[in-house]
Structure 1
Amino acid sequence: MLPDLPAVDGVEIRSNGLLLPQGMPFGAWECIGQFVLNAAESVTWWIGDLLVYGQDAFGDRYEQAIARTSLDYQTLRNYAWIAKKFPVSRRRDKLSFGHHSEVAALVESEQDVWLERAERLGWSRNELRRRLRAARNARLMGGTEQRQPLTQAVNLQVSVRQHERWREAAEQMNCSIDHWIVETLDEAAGIRSE
């Protein structure tokens, strides 16, 4: 839960800035700083939850509304995707939105294992990413990769611009473009990833 902003005379929060009084004690400055950092982290979740609600409740009107924002469409999709992957009850307060985004493509049980490790061991988001990559590489090198189900190849002809946008979106989700395309298509088809 986001703590209340400490009551300090002369502090003004505006949409375009934070006004702080001269001579403010260090402790008050520190408390305000913690509030601001917590709020910044929370905003990403709030946006994701708002978008998920809008998708479910307002359909086409939701898409018109997000088109009027100043945020990149793919960024908003990523926020919504991660918020959908992690209901509030599964989110770890001590870990950032970024931590959750690193494991979002995994199955729930694996997400929980990695988030628990990151929380217990105090890993940064970058450390979690590094550990995930190392574990993936170890599985591939050790030949213990799970047997893949029968697959069907699909050949798509897309513009260079589309491919670049998709590659960038996959990078933001820290996954391969193939994985990102499959996840996105499954989500659009209403299929839960296995």
Structure 2
Amino acid sequence: MMTHQVEDCTESRELMFGRNAEAVSRPRRPVGVESRSEQVLTTKVGLHIPVGLAFEEWERAGRQLSGLLNSSSWWLGDWLVYGKDHYADRYELGIRAAGLQYQTLRNYAWVSRRFDLDRRRSALSFQHHAELASLRADEQEIWLDRAERMKWSTKQLRNAIRAQREGTQQQTDAAAATRRLAVPDNRLQWWHKAAAQAGTELGEWVMATLDAAADQVLKETDRQLTHE
């Protein structure tokens, strides 16, 4: 069985950025030892970036640091979920000992619980998933597919969700308005009588009559436009 030990690191570390290699972490070299120009030295308070670092290497370092930041949200969320599930009476002690803010961790944990490991998309950020965490699982999958296919940013995903919600609400409002047609009693009785003579329900008769009237008006309008 493979095990992983997380240790406190007080020493500075070096991130190796090479054209054909992933980032590699190494202990800091003693003073006076030559280091390769593509090495970026990380410390608890910042980065030591070598003079003359190529743009491509600097850009690659940024992508890898961003990936670490994104992954850390999942890591911390999963860490808290495990703690709450296994150490219900002690997990808060672990949070304080780690010097972490519970509110932030709680948000991470909520998103982590909403997405099992096999449903998380590596091509999308933690924040993409956070935008969808409140939705049903089937809706989450639809939006994850769209965001991944369209390569949306978090903001673009949020705007797309908002646009769909607003469009759905407008359609609902329009449908509700059509159902609230005020009809005088004498007119309604007249329509009932006509529908009965036609051998149909009132609703069907009203729809058929209105459709026929609309069709006649539109055809007449088309004929007038043709002769002009």
Asked if residue 114 in structure 1 is aligned to residue 143 in structure 2, the reply is yes
Asked if residue 127 in structure 1 is aligned to residue 134 in structure 2, the reply is no
Q: Is the 8 A contact 2:95 2:101 kept in 1?
A: no
Give, in whole Å, the separation in 1 of the partners of 2:136 and 2:156.
20
Which amino acid is the alignment partner of residue 90 of structure 1?
R
Once the two structures are TM-superposed, the CA of residue 21 in structure 1 deviates from its matched residue by 1.5
Give, in whole Å, the separation in 2 of the partners of 1:141 and 1:23.
57
Q: Is the 8 A contact 1:49 1:80 kept in 2?
A: yes
Give, in whole Å, the separation in 2 of the partners of 1:30 and 1:122.
19
Name the structure, 1 or 2, with higher relative contact order (CA <8 Å, separation 6+).
Answer: 1
**Larger displacement relative to structure 2 (95-104 or 31-40):** 31-40
After superposition, give the CA deviation of every residue in 1:71-111 in whole Å (9 maximum; x if it has no partner): 43222111000011111211111111111011111110000
Which amino acid is the alignment partner of residue 123 of structure 1?
W
Q: Unpaired segments of 5 or more residues in structure 2? A: 1-20, 26-34, 174-228
Once the two structures are TM-superposed, the CA of residue 67 in structure 1 deviates from its matched residue by 3.5
Once the two structures are TM-superposed, the CA of residue 11 in structure 1 deviates from its matched residue by 2.7
Q: 1:58 aligns with which of 64, 87, 108?
A: 87
Query: Which residue is 1:4 aligned to?
Result: 22
Number of matched residues?
Answer: 142
Q: Percent identity over the alignment? A: 43
Q: Is the 8 A contact 1:44 1:79 kept in 2?
A: yes
Give, in whole Å, the separation in 2 of the partners of 1:141 and 1:50.
42
Asked if residue 139 in structure 1 is aligned to residue 157 in structure 2, the reply is no
Give, in whole Å, the separation in 2 of the partners of 1:16 and 1:50.
24
Q: Unpaired segments of 5 or more residues in structure 1? A: 145-194
Once the two structures are TM-superposed, the CA of residue 57 in structure 1 deviates from its matched residue by 1.5
Once the two structures are TM-superposed, the CA of residue 68 in structure 1 deviates from its matched residue by 4.4
Give, in whole Å, the separation in 1 of the partners of 2:130 and 2:165.
16
Q: Is the 8 A contact 1:13 1:19 kept in 2?
A: yes
TM-score by length of 1: 0.66
Give, in whole Å, the separation in 2 of the partners of 1:69 and 1:136.
40
After superposition, give the CA deviation of every residue in 1:9-46 in whole Å (9 maximum; x if it has no partner): 25322222121211222232222222111111111111
Give, in whole Å, the separation in 2 of the partners of 1:79 and 1:93.
16
Map 1:63-78 onto structure 2 (within 5 A): 63-78=92-107
Give, in whole Å, the separation in 1 of the partners of 2:100 and 2:114.
21
Which amino acid is the alignment partner of residue 56 of structure 1?
D
Query: Which residue is 1:159 aligned to?
Result: none
TM-score by length of 2: 0.57
**Residue aligned with 2:23, SS:** coil
Across the aligned residues of Structure 1 and Structure 2, the Cα RMSD in angstroms comes to: 2.1
Give, in whole Å, the separation in 1 of the partners of 2:157 and 2:92.
33
Give, in whole Å, the separation in 2 of the partners of 1:27 and 1:138.
43
Give, in whole Å, the separation in 1 of the partners of 2:160 and 2:97.
38
Query: Which residue is 2:119 aligned to?
Result: 90
Q: Is the 8 A contact 2:81 2:113 kept in 1?
A: yes
Q: 2:63 aligns with which of 18, 31, 34?
A: 34
Query: Which residue is 1:17 aligned to?
Result: 46
Q: Which has the higher strand share?
A: 2
